[in-house]
Amino acid sequence: MDFTKPETVLNLQNIRDELVKMEDSIIFKFIERSHFPTCPGVYLTKNPDLSIENFDGSFLDWALLHLEITHSQLRRFESPDETPFFPDHLLRPILPSISYPQVLASYAPQVNYNEKIKATYIKQMVPLLSKYDGEQNENYGSVATRDIECLQSLSRRIHFGKFVAEAKFQNDKELYTKLIKSKDIDGIMKNITNSAVEEKILERLVKKAEVYGVDPTNKEGERRITPDYLVKIYKEFVIPMTKEVEVEYLLRRLTDDN
Ligand SMILES: C=C(O[C@@H]1C=C(C(=O)O)C=C[C@H]1O)C(=O)O
């Protein structure tokens, strides 16, 4: 997929192929996170054991914010497939700007699910991915960097729903215009859903987890990335949030004459 070539971007099969490629990246980042315990202190705002001057968020928030500031100067967030967690803190790139052809509606950057993605990752995914429940202060930096890798991959995957939605809108403007005009959210959700594609994704994840996720060195009682965990994460969190992004993007689509 080449974001300078719109015809490659809005081809639904190309988009689906891209989502398949992201599975491997997400699984390998989950495996990296699985080497550490839950480390709840990383996510605690105003953690008394980890006070950060002039900052009242969590250690993870501080690390993610400062990485995004640097990445914004490297032009990361000019790319249409990147959605920042701290959009109000970005800086201008030090590299020359790339004028990507407009593929998505002008409001696309405002469709930002990262707060929900972060909350879901911390509350629902970390307990499944981490090796055991507990602290490991000496690894706070490693845990935060692994979490950021997971969050950025999950964010890119879920916000790819904007490309899926635009492709589906272009493929059937009449249907979606009618549904959007009548604010038929259930109708939009029903029509963007492709259960066969979802089923195929979950079946493939089981196979990949069996191949990639098994760690023979795991001690008794320690968790590891099992096929069930991966399927649960995708089925209950990743796919539903991707579809929410699709619906939110489509609901505003008639406000833009792109
Ligand atoms: C991404 C798509 O839209 C929906 C979301 C999917 C997902 O998040 O994996 C898969 C199929 C659809 O229900 C698609 O149609 O490919």
Confidence of residue 215 (pLDDT cuts 50, 70, 90): low
Q: Which atom of ligand 1 is nearest to the CA of 201?
A: 9
Q: Which domains does the chain have, with CATH numbers?
A: 22-255 (1.10.590.10)
Exposure of 1 by Cβ count < 10 A (0-12 exposed, 13-18 middle, 19+ buried)?
middle
Give the pair of three-digit tokens for residue 23.
Answer: 């599975």
Could you tell me if 154 and 30 are in contact, meaning their C-beta atoms sit under 8 angstroms apart? no
CB-CB contact of 128 with 38 (8 Å): no
- Mean pLDDT (whole number) for 149-177: 98
Assess whether pLDDT exceeds 70 at residue 76: yes
Ligand 1-lining residues (CB < 6 angstroms): 16, 164, 192-194, 197-198, 201, 239, 242-243
Confidence of residue 258 (pLDDT cuts 50, 70, 90): low
The minimum-distance atom of ligand 1 relative to the CA of 160 is: 1
**Side chain identity, residue 229:** Y
**Rounded distance from Cα 77 to ligand 1 centre (Å):** 24
Report the C-alpha gap between 15 and 149 in whole angstroms.
21
Cβ neighbours of 39 (radius 10 Å): 25
Contacts of 211 (CB under 8 A, 6+ apart): none
Q: Give 65-74's long-range contacts (Cβ < 8 A, gap of 24+).
A: 65/89, 67/148
1 in Cβ contact with 96 (< 8 Å): no
- Number of C-beta neighbours around residue 190 at 10 A: 10
Compute CA distances 214 → 146, 202, 233, whole Å: 19, 17, 17
Higher pLDDT, 96 or 5: 96
CA-based nearest residue to 61, from 34, 43, 82, 81: 43
Judge whether residue 113 has pLDDT over 70. yes
Q: Is the pTM of this model over 0.90?
A: yes
CA pair distance 144, 126, nearest whole angstrom: 12
Work out the percent of the chain whose per-residue pLDDT is above 90: 83
**Atom 2 of ligand 1 has which residue's CA nearest to it?**
164
Whole-angstrom distance, CA of residue 179 vs CA of residue 181: 6
Q: What are phi and psi of 51, to 5 degrees?
A: -75, 130
CA of 164 to the centre of ligand 1 (A): 8
Instruction: Answer yes or no: is pLDDT of 218 > 70.
Output: no
Mean pLDDT of 28-54: 92
Band of pLDDT at residue 46, cut at 50, 70 and 90: confident
Which residue's alpha carbon is nearest to atom 7 within ligand 1? 239
How sure is the predictor about 217, in pLDDT bands with cuts at 50, 70 and 90?
low
Task: State which of 113, 197, 201 you would mutate to test the pocket of ligand 1, scoring each by most atoms of that ligand within 8 A of its C-beta.
Answer: 197
Please give the positions annotated as active site. 16, 157, 168, 194, 198, 242, 246
Residue of 164, 203, 236, 246 best suited for mutating to test ligand 1, as the one with most atoms within 8 Å of CB: 164
